[in-house]
Structure 1
């Protein structure tokens, strides 16, 4: 029987992990610590929720179809903020709004590839990127990273063939948390530009980057939009996960191709979600700065707590944005470890097997902790439970 597109890939990892909770009871004195998903559990701030409620009542267009590439006001505002963030000039016609950043990636891959084309992706990879490449019939070419989870442009060059259409970078990285240095990102851009392929840079977590100033200079390069495809999400910044609003910044010629995909899949992004994203960008800069400070403080707390795990053989591979990526010390594979942690420690996390190809032995030793929803007290409890493990 012919294999379908969806059977070519694996089950959604977060949904699979949630199934591990079925039938498990957690006592009041040891509730579940869920560090499996990189999404805010709190709703948008009250001011934004009030604005959404008002828009739903007073803005008739919020309930109608809109432009396929997004509302002009949001495209203009995002172009302006990209320009400010990266110290560059970006126009609104170089920006499109999508139904979440995953759709931005799916639309991009559909627009630049054909069956059996290749895309180079550093490992560990973001599993939804891998899933879409599988579904699209595009071959994922794995690019192993070094001990600091950083990919090597020279190693990528060696993987390029006449079927290569793009290289994908995620920075700050999911799952690894690593913030790619600006010279490294630039080296990948120069490589892509030289050989005539695209560089896809997913910066979903850019608002929680620990560095000040532009994280890279790609938008300042001549003809950047003929090489760079920049992806962004409003979900993390403004807690709009359920409203599904993402974005793409690239050349107008490619956006015309992407428009075909978006029109056939969703027609237009959520109107209320777009209005909410625009309101957030125009009114919540100070609030967002506070959210960033809190995430950076939780990252600092992990660094302070780290000796309690390293003394037990754990090794931190990457830390940043919403993530801490570890190598565990136990003589069992990470997928078994992750499932046992649910009933035995009251912890739900994701194993490295969900982020790595099957032929990479490192996947059995790695786990991802999405720490963004834990305050310092919660992180202390998490580390205490992990330090007490013995398998």
Structure 2
């Protein structure tokens, strides 16, 4: 009766977890929600004002160009060029309705039935389910704890097969928070060029790199990057407007031409009010974004301290928005544990089982959601947890 590729998927993981909220009776104080990766603060008043003004503009209620509004594409190309010390052309920008759509469109443009994509595990669940829905096969490279939940090129090379069309990476990583060093990314791109496949690099969380890291990588400075690199980005985190669904793809002209065919059939054009509102903000909000970067870095420090104060809880990796933690309850599934944490401790997190096979011993904490005054309560809540 239904498409088996969809029917066999799990329900949306975040929806499952958010339903556990109602099981908590408030006995330990207010619920600590570290489940969904959303900014724990509001958009800048100037952004909100621009959105409100744009919503009443009849011109922005019309269809726009499939690739995105020209002014916004130009502004984003300039922004990325400055960030990476590279030269990105406006025609190398495709605007999308969020970064998940960017991934869907990219996969549709690159891979078909029988093709395969290589993913690193633990892996972002929406990437995994997207490939499942589209009938694209998945191969995995497992990232072990000793390597900081990062892969090595030898393992990636060994996993590439004759049907592999692309490698999909997320850096800073979701769920692990691990950050791919620039030399590792360069080696992976070189491997893709050697093997004739694509690197799909999701950099949704790039604005929350460690404070001593200014340039995430130098891939755009390489000759002919357009033949092997496709970069994805989301405006949801840095600009605090996930409900407005705005994302972007940087790729070569020929790739953008294929992406436009896909986007035209999915949504025709990305939300225009948000594009219009953010066009001047990419420059004017730089200081505000830096303040938020520092705010999230401070929360990361408090989170690491909280984990250090919890015997048996092992912080495997952390960075940007996330901490990936091995829990001490051997033999207990992560979904059962996370549901119990919500009910008994009032702490909401995502079970590791949602991030791929072999992840049942872990939990993802999205510490960016909570203030430092809330994060410090974690140790007390979890130290007394019993099953």
Q: 2:360 aligns with which of 339, 342, 364?
A: 364
* Match in the other structure for 1:252: 253
CA apart distance, 1:88: 0.8
Q: Aligned partners of 1:9 and 1:47: how far apart in 2?
A: 40
Q: Is the 8 A contact 2:304 2:315 kept in 1?
A: no
CA apart distance, 1:364: 1.7
Structure 2's unaligned 5+ residue stretches are none
* Match in the other structure for 1:323: 322
Summarize deviations over 1:189-246 as a string: whole Å, max 9, x none: 0000111100000000000011433111110000101100000011101101000000
Structure 1's unaligned 5+ residue stretches are none
Summarize deviations over 1:114-155 as a string: whole Å, max 9, x none: 102110000000000001000010111111012110011111
Q: Aligned partners of 1:2 and 1:287: how far apart in 2?
A: 47
Q: For the aligned residues, what is the CA RMSD?
A: 1.4
Q: Aligned partners of 2:250 and 2:85: how far apart in 1?
A: 15
Matched, 1:180 2:192: no
CA apart distance, 1:354: 0.4
Describe the SS at the equivalent of 2:123.
coil
CA apart distance, 1:284: 0.9
* Match in the other structure for 1:386: 382
* Match in the other structure for 2:336: 336
Summarize deviations over 1:18-67 as a string: whole Å, max 9, x none: 1223454324x51111110001254312121112222223x432111000
Q: Aligned partners of 1:223 and 1:369: how far apart in 2?
A: 38
* Match in the other structure for 1:32: 31
Describe the SS at the equivalent of 1:103.
helix
* Match in the other structure for 1:4: 4
Q: 1:120 aligns with which of 118, 121, 135?
A: 118
Describe the SS at the equivalent of 2:360.
helix
* Match in the other structure for 1:103: 101
Per the normalisation by structure 2, the TM-score is 0.96
Per the normalisation by structure 1, the TM-score is 0.95
* Count of paired positions: 383
Query: Structure 1 residues 77 and 2, CA, compared in 2 at 3 Å: closer, same or farther?
Result: closer
Describe the SS at the equivalent of 2:309.
helix
Q: 1:78 aligns with which of 41, 55, 76?
A: 76
* Match in the other structure for 1:354: 354
